[in-house]
């Protein structure tokens, strides 16, 4: 199988270990199924020894399950982290009053502008997301996503409210109640939702940040039943606090998948995968209780799925080449992928292997107004290699030239993320932005950035400080990108090894 290539040796060792340590059982799958059926609520895998053949099947099913569930895992992990780490409730909003650091576990967030995150369920009744009008000093950019990270609608100037503000009414699946007038109505296919909202301030520095935070606190999220007199929305400051919001690629991910199966509607095109999940003990209406032997196999499969995704980042397969011969690549989102809102559900297949490589390093999901056939106002370039094609080494120093007149209206930033965590590396200075004070500009208008374990003398403000104990990849963002970027008339320099 293509997806298991590279994991055969690990799987063989795992199967050998299981075979040596377990009692090999001779009953057929059908016999085990009949036993399970006769005991409603029991787990198919609980207390059942695992044969070599069953270990192979469990591993392959589990590996595919991680790929399939990757967008939902990204959503559920963020919602769960808000509840567990910050005490967020169903209609609460988490925001960042100051720049985030490595403790903020959201995948590839940007610490150059304030974010807000809201996870909410419409299981009990519809929910209203009240977006205020854009202000002269701040505006929103983002989407309301369902549990599969599919955008229901954008908000802010690029969204349905066009920056004028509006009340978005999110309806649960199969809702047949009254829908009042005056709302932007969104019929959802799931109960759980996530909003990763970004706030764009007009001004630089703390002045802009404070204005953005003030704007965030004019948001309101509440159940429809309280529309006439909404309760005050609770705001939780998550800046510089532990917020472990990424899937962990271990056994815990399968408990999230079980929650997904138990709590969310079943989509027609997912029924085949649900059959595979049944083979690892996850079935709607029954308790997920894997035996220690099965749990070890699931853990191994999750780790190998993570390793595969990391390899795709390191070798560049996760990114589309942007400039000919350059190390930098863009998001692997084709017009076909964008048309399906990054569901990766096509007429002839579901490309869930491709899907994980999107959600592995991107926690913002797709936004509905995105059009891959035309330039976007926000652009992202990524690399885990230097200009010679070698992987970035966190113990070495590199130089990156940003030529004069970069094609953007607002600002650019470069950030180092851990290849394993996909979050900010644990470093005192993991980012540089064109908004930063003290950034040195060359006589020709270009800027030399440095990437290394120590600040470069004379270029301290220009240096991204790496962590020698943490592999990293880079993301260079253009905010307010102009058409010149897509015309390839301007090219970002590759990381060049200095020492």
Q: Where are the domains of the chain?
A: 2-72+249-310, 90-233, 317-497
Beta strands in 87-208 (DSSP E): 93-95, 115-121, 127-131, 138-146, 151-155, 166-171, 184-187, 192-201
Which residue carries 């997806």 as its tokens? 3
Of 188, 146, 184, nearest in space to 168 by CA: 184
pLDDT tens-digit readout, 120-134: 999 999 999 999 999
* Rounded Cα–Cα distance for residues 37 and 144 (Å): 39
* Rounded Cα–Cα distance for residues 421 and 402 (Å): 27
Counting Cβ atoms within 10 Å, is residue 400 exposed (0-12), middle (13-18) or buried (19+)? buried
Do 219 and 93 form a contact (C-beta atoms < 8 A)? yes
Of 497, 492, 432, 436, nearest in space to 463 by CA: 432
Beta bridge partners of 402: 447
Beta-carbon contacts of 23 under 8 Å, excluding residues fewer than 6 positions away, are 49
Please report which residue ranges of 196-245 form alpha helices under DSSP H: 205-216
Q: How would residue 35 be classed by pLDDT, with cut points 50, 70 and 90?
A: very low
| Reduced DSSP (H G I as helix, E B as strand, rest coil) percent helix, strand, coil of the chain, to 5 | 30, 25, 50
pTM, full prediction: 0.85
Do 88 and 96 form a contact (C-beta atoms < 8 A)? no
Of 359, 337, 366, nearest in space to 158 by CA: 366
Residue 166 CA neighbour count, 13 Å, CB half: 22
Q: What is the DSSP letter of 390?
A: P
pLDDT tens-digit readout, 271-288: 999 999 999 999 999 999
The CATH code for residues 317-497 is 2.60.120.600
What does the pLDDT read at residue 2? 37
CATH classification (class only), 2-72+249-310:
mainly alpha
**May I ask the CATH architecture of the domain 90-233?**
Sandwich (2.60)
Instruction: Pull the structure tokens for residue 323.
Output: 């400039």
Q: Provide mean pLDDT across the span 255-274.
A: 95
Beta bridge partners of 138: 135, 201
Greatest pairwise CA separation for the chain in angstroms: 79
User: Of the ranges 222-236, 334-348, 375-389, which is most confident?
Assistant: 222-236
Question: Contacts by 96-100 with C-beta closer than 8 Å and gap 24+?
Answer: 96/237, 96/238, 96/239, 97/209, 97/213, 97/237, 97/239, 98/209, 98/239, 98/240, 99/209, 99/239, 100/239, 100/240, 100/424
Q: How would residue 17 be classed by pLDDT, with cut points 50, 70 and 90?
A: very low
Residue 94 has pLDDT above 70, yes or no: yes
Of 154, 64, 68, 60, nearest in space to 345 by CA: 68
Element (H, E) at 35: helix 29-37
Beta-carbon contacts of 326 under 8 Å, excluding residues fewer than 6 positions away, are 387, 491, 492, 494
pLDDT tens-digit readout, 276-327: 999 999 999 999 999 999 999 999 999 999 999 899 889 888 888 999 999 9
């Amino acid at each position: 199988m293509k997806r298991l290539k590279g994991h055969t040796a690990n799987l063989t060792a795992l199967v050998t270990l299981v075979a040596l340590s377990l009692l090999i059982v001779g009953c057929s799958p059908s016999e085990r199924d009949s036993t399970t059926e006769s005991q409603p609520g029991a787990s198919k895998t609980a207390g059942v020894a695992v044969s070599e053949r069953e270990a192979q099947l469990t591993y392959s099913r589990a590996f595919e399950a991680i790929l399939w569930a990757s967008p939902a895992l990204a959503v559920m992990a963020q919602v769960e982290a808000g509840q567990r780490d910050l005490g967020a409730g169903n209609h609460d909003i988490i925001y960042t009053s100051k720049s985030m650091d490595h403790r903020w576990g959201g995948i590839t967030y940007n610490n150059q502008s304030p974010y807000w995150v809201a996870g909410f369920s419409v299981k009990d009744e519809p929910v209203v997301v009240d977006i205020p009008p854009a202000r002269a000093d701040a505006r929103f950019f983002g989407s309301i996503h369902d549990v599969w990270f599919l955008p229901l609608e954008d908000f802010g100037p690029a969204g349905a409210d066009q920056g004028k503000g509006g009340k978005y009414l999110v309806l649960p699946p199969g809702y047949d109640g009254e829908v009042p007038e005056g709302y932007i109505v969104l019929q959802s296919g799931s109960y759980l939702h996530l909003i990763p909202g970004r706030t764009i301030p007009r001004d630089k520095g703390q002045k802009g940040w404070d204005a953005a935070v003030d704007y965030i606190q004019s948001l309101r999220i509440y159940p429809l039943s309280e529309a006439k007199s909404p309760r005050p929305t609770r705001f939780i400051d998550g800046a510089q606090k532990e917020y472990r919001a990424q899937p962990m690629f271990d056994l815990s991910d399968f408990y999230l998948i079980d929650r997904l199966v138990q709590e969310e509607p079943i989509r027609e095109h997912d029924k085949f995968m649900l059959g595979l999940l049944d083979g690892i003990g996850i079935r709607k209406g029954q308790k997920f209780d894997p035996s220690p032997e099965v749990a070890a196999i699931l853990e191994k499969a999750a780790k190998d799925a993570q390793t595969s995704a990391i390899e795709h980042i390191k070798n560049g397969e996760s990114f589309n080449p942007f400039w000919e011969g350059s190390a930098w690549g863009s998001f692997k989102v084709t017009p076909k992928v964008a048309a399906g809102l990054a569901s990766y559900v096509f007429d002839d297949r579901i490309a869930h292997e491709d899907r994980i490589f999107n959600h592995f390093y991107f926690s913002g999901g797709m936004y509905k107004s995105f059009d891959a056939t035309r330039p976007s106002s926000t652009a992202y370039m990524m690399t885990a290699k230097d200009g010679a094609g070698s992987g970035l080494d966190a113990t070495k120093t590199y130089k990156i030239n940003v030529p004069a007149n970069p094609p953007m209206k607002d600002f650019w930033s470069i950030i180092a993320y851990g290849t394993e965590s996909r979050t900010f590396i644990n470093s005192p200075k993991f980012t540089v932005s064109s908004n930063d004070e003290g950034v040195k500009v060359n006589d020709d208008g270009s800027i030399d950035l440095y990437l290394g374990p120590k600040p470069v003398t004379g270029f301290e403000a220009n240096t991204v400080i790496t962590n020698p104990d943490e592999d990293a990849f880079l993301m260079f963002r253009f905010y307010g990108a102009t058409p010149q970027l897509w015309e390839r008339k301007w090219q970002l320099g590759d990381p060049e090894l200095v020492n």
